[in-house]
Amino acid sequence: MKTKIITLVLGLIGMMGYSQQDSQYTQYMYNTVNINPGYAGSREVLSIFGLHRSQWVGLDGAPTTNAFSVNSPIGDSSFGIGLSVVNDRIGPAEENAISADLSYFIQMSDNYKLAFGLKGTANLFSIDVNKLNIQHQNDPQFQNLDNDFSPNVGAGIYLYSDKFYAGLSVPNFFETKRYKDNSISITQERLHYYFITGYVFETGPNLKIKPSVLAKAVEGAPLQLDGSLNFLLYEKLTLGAAYRWDAAWSAMAGFQITNSIFIGYAYDAETTQLENYNSGSHEVFLRFELFNNSKMLTPRFF
């Protein structure tokens, strides 16, 4: 009985904080376009990406995320475009975010490019209050929502070469409030600031090492830091580990099936009190790319 009560309380807390946190990804280094529009087209190929994340498996109402994106350069121009769809579910709430990205690249040197990106997003938010135990059923603040629409815009900059990348972005500039009554709002979308960077060290013909860092800041929440270390073996097998500060340890693996197809998996083990109520988080992705023969001859690490 005690476990059920704790699970319910944690679930409700998670739901109330739901719109204050963007989707969380352990393998953010492969899913950069969702947080930084400047990434769109940077791989110089048509890149199609799909991801599923089940967080805190075994906890009632735990978050699940499905993400799909496609991005590509526009011919031989200095522009890139992208389209992405992210579906988030937690408890009785569901949100779908449909985003379009546009990037512009500047050749800074022989090896480096700087990209500026813009993101436009349509958010569709739904909640089924019948899944909650509400004391006052007729309270107007607790009524079903069905695809409640809110627009948003974001921007980012992305500096990169074949071995290095760094980006700074704000995917959503507008703070959307739902169930708002005067100065009170039960859910609120706050500004998220992202910084991402990584480097590829070539230690030999069959081994590459890539450390990477993601920092996320949002008002009202502690600074989130993700550090990861991946090893690419024989241009095929990727093995790595990651740590989310005061939150979780992660193990990652990926395999380059062909030059066009890359599959990956990650497992998160909680280090907070939540570890007593779930069996970890699972994340799997698939990336498919169409190469231009005049462009990349081998798959790039990021």
Within a domain: residue 295?
Answer: no
CB 55 within 8 Å of CB 62: yes
Q: How many domains does the chain have?
A: 1
**What DSSP character marks residue 9?**
H
Q: 297 lies in a domain?
A: no
Does residue 301 sit within a domain? Answer: no
Say if 40 falls within a structural domain: yes
Domain of 195, in residue numbers: 2-290
233 lies in some domain: yes
SS3 57: coil
In a domain, 302, yes or no: no
pLDDT tens, residue order, the chain (302 aa): 334 433 443 444 444 443 346 788 999 999 999 999 999 999 999 999 999 999 999 888 889 999 999 999 999 899 999 999 999 998 888 999 999 999 999 999 999 999 999 999 999 988 877 666 655 556 555 566 677 899 999 999 999 999 999 999 999 998 876 655 544 445 566 788 999 999 999 998 899 999 999 999 987 778 899 999 999 999 999 999 999 998 899 999 999 999 899 999 999 999 988 888 889 999 999 999 987 654 554 456 77
Three-state secondary-structure class, residue 167: strand
User: What CATH number has the domain bearing residue 183?
Assistant: 2.40.160.40
pLDDT of the residue at 135: 59
What is the reported pLDDT for 16? 40
Pick from 101, 145, 93: nearest CA to 119: 101
Residue 152, in any domain of the structure: yes
pLDDT value for 18: 39
**Does residue 296 lie within any of the structural domains?**
no
pTM: 0.85
